[in-house]
Structure 1
Amino acid sequence: MRFLIECTYVYEHPQDNSGIQRVVRNIVRELGAAQPEVECVPVMMNGGQLYRVLSLAPLTVDRGATRRQALIVRLDHLRNRYWWWHSRLERLWPFRRSPLARRLLYWPCKLASLAITLPLRGLLWANRNAQPAPQRAVPLQARAGDQLILLDSSWHDDFFPLAEKLKRQGVGIVSVIYDLIPLTHPQFCDEGLVKVFDRWFDWIAETADGFMAISQTISRQVATEIQRRLGAEAAARRWHGHFHLGSELDLQHKDARLDADLQRMFRDPAPVYLMVSTIEPRKNHRYLLDAFELLWAQGSDVRLCIIGKIGWKCEELVERIRQHPQQGKRLFMFNRINDKSLEYAYAKARALIFPSYVEGFGLPLVEAMQRGLPAMASDIPVFREVGGDYMAYFDLAEPQSLASQIAQFECTGEFPAQRPLGDWRWLGWREACQQLIAGTLAGLRSGARQPDHSVHANRL
Structure 2
Amino acid sequence: MTLDITRLLLRRRHATPTGIDRLELAYARALLAARDRPVAFEAWVPGVGACGYARAALEVLLPEIEARWAAGEASGIALSGLRLRQPRDGEVRLLVSHHHLAELERRHRPEAKTCVYIHDAIPADFPEYARPGGAEKHERRLRNAAALADAILVNSHATAASLDRFLQARRPPLLVAPLGVEPRRAAVAPEAQDRPYFLCLGTIEPRKNHLLLLHIWRNLAGEAGAPRLILVGRRGWENENVVDMLERSPAIRELVVEAGRVGDARLGGLVAGACAVLMPSFAEGFGLPVAEALAAGVPVIASDLPALRETGGSVPDYLDPLDGPGWTQAIRDYAAPGSVPRAAQFERLKSWQPPSWDAHFAAVLPFLDNL
- TM-score class, shorter-chain normalisation, is 0.7 to 0.9
Match of 1:149 among 75, 90, 94: 94
Which residue in the other structure is 2:121 paired with? 180
Which residue in the other structure is 1:210 paired with? 151
Correspondence 1:403 to 2:328: yes
Which residue in the other structure is 1:431 paired with? 359
Deviation of 1:275 (Å) = 0.3
1:189-225 deviation per Cα after TM superposition (whole angstroms, max 9, x unaligned): 1122222222232322211122111111101221332
Correspondence 1:195 to 2:136: yes
Match of 2:181 among 235, 247, 250: 247
Which residue in the other structure is 1:41 paired with? 40
1:76-119 deviation per Cα after TM superposition (whole angstroms, max 9, x unaligned): xxxxxxxxxxxxxxxxxxxxxxxxxxxxxxxxxxxxxxxxxxxx
Alignment of 1:345-360 (within 5 A): 345-360=270-285
Which residue in the other structure is 1:455 paired with? none
Which amino acid letter does the alignment assign opposite residue 198 of structure 2?
A: Y
Correspondence 1:319 to 2:253: no
Kindly indicate whether the alpha-carbon contact (under 8 Å) linking 1:9 and 1:153 is maintained by their aligned counterparts in 2: no
Which amino acid letter does the alignment assign opposite residue 240 of structure 1?
A: L
Correspondence 1:226 to 2:171: no
CA root-mean-square deviation: 2.8
Kindly indicate whether the alpha-carbon contact (under 8 Å) linking 1:243 and 1:432 is maintained by their aligned counterparts in 2: yes
1:371-418 deviation per Cα after TM superposition (whole angstroms, max 9, x unaligned): 111111000000010000111111222111111122223344232549
Kindly indicate whether the alpha-carbon contact (under 8 Å) linking 1:271 and 1:350 is maintained by their aligned counterparts in 2: yes
Query: Take 2:369 and 2:196, find their aligned partners in 1: how far apart are those partners?
Result: 47
Correspondence 1:51 to 2:49: no
User: How does the TM-score come out when normalised to structure 1?
Assistant: 0.68
Query: Take 2:317 and 2:152, find their aligned partners in 1: how far apart are those partners?
Result: 31
Which residue in the other structure is 1:255 paired with? none
Query: Take 2:238 and 2:176, find their aligned partners in 1: how far apart are those partners?
Result: 31
Kindly indicate whether the alpha-carbon contact (under 8 Å) linking 2:291 and 2:355 is maintained by their aligned counterparts in 1: no
Which residue in the other structure is 1:28 paired with? 28
Q: Which runs of 5+ in 2 are unaligned?
A: 62-78
Which residue in the other structure is 1:14 paired with? 12
Query: Take 1:178 and 1:13, find their aligned partners in 2: how far apart are those partners?
Result: 17
Query: Take 1:308 and 1:249, find their aligned partners in 2: how far apart are those partners?
Result: 22
Which amino acid letter does the alignment assign opposite residue 19 of structure 1?
A: G
Match of 1:133 among 80, 96, 104: 80
1:41-90 deviation per Cα after TM superposition (whole angstroms, max 9, x unaligned): 3322231234145345897xxxxxxxxxxxxxxxxxxxxxxxxxxxxxxx
Query: Take 2:159 and 2:142, find their aligned partners in 1: how far apart are those partners?
Result: 14
Deviation of 1:299 (Å) = 4.1
Distance 1:53 1:433, change over 3 A: farther
Distance 1:219 1:40, change over 3 A: farther
Alignment of 1:113-128 (within 5 A): none
Query: Take 2:59 and 2:210, find their aligned partners in 1: how far apart are those partners?
Result: 34
1:352-384 deviation per Cα after TM superposition (whole angstroms, max 9, x unaligned): 000111111111111111111111100000001
Match of 1:387 among 301, 309, 312: 312
Which residue in the other structure is 1:274 paired with? 199
Which residue in the other structure is 1:259 paired with? none
Which amino acid letter does the alignment assign opposite residue 397 of structure 1?
A: L
Deviation of 1:271 (Å) = 0.7
Identity among equivalent positions (%) equals 25
Deviation of 1:429 (Å) = 3.1
Query: Take 2:142 and 2:184, find their aligned partners in 1: how far apart are those partners?
Result: 30
Deviation of 1:328 (Å) = 4.4
Deviation of 1:291 (Å) = 2.8
Which amino acid letter does the alignment assign opposite residue 212 of structure 1?
A: L
Match of 1:291 among 206, 216, 238: 216
State the SS of the aligned residue for 1:187: helix
Deviation of 1:276 (Å) = 0.8
Match of 1:303 among 218, 221, 228: 228
1:261-318 deviation per Cα after TM superposition (whole angstroms, max 9, x unaligned): x96xx430x2110001000000000111223334445545211111110000012211
Which residue in the other structure is 1:70 paired with? none
Question: Which one has the bigger helix percentage?
Answer: 1
Which residue in the other structure is 1:93 paired with? none
Q: Which runs of 5+ in 1 are unaligned?
A: 60-131, 252-261, 445-460
Which amino acid letter does the alignment assign opposite residue 148 of structure 1?
A: R
State the SS of the aligned residue for 1:191: coil
Query: Take 1:31 and 1:148, find their aligned partners in 2: how far apart are those partners?
Result: 13
Distance 1:157 1:303, change over 3 A: same
Query: Take 2:230 and 2:311, find their aligned partners in 1: how far apart are those partners?
Result: 23
Kindly indicate whether the alpha-carbon contact (under 8 Å) linking 2:211 and 2:241 is maintained by their aligned counterparts in 1: no
Distance 1:35 1:375, change over 3 A: farther
Correspondence 1:378 to 2:290: no
Deviation of 1:140 (Å) = 4.1
Q: How many residues align?
A: 343
Deviation of 1:326 (Å) = 4.0
Query: Take 1:294 and 1:35, find their aligned partners in 2: how far apart are those partners?
Result: 57
Query: Take 1:217 and 1:440, find their aligned partners in 2: how far apart are those partners?
Result: 22
Query: Take 1:241 and 1:223, find their aligned partners in 2: how far apart are those partners?
Result: 14
Which residue in the other structure is 1:413 paired with? 339
User: How does the TM-score come out when normalised to structure 2?
Assistant: 0.83
Distance 1:324 1:430, change over 3 A: farther
Query: Take 1:326 and 1:34, find their aligned partners in 2: how far apart are those partners?
Result: 54
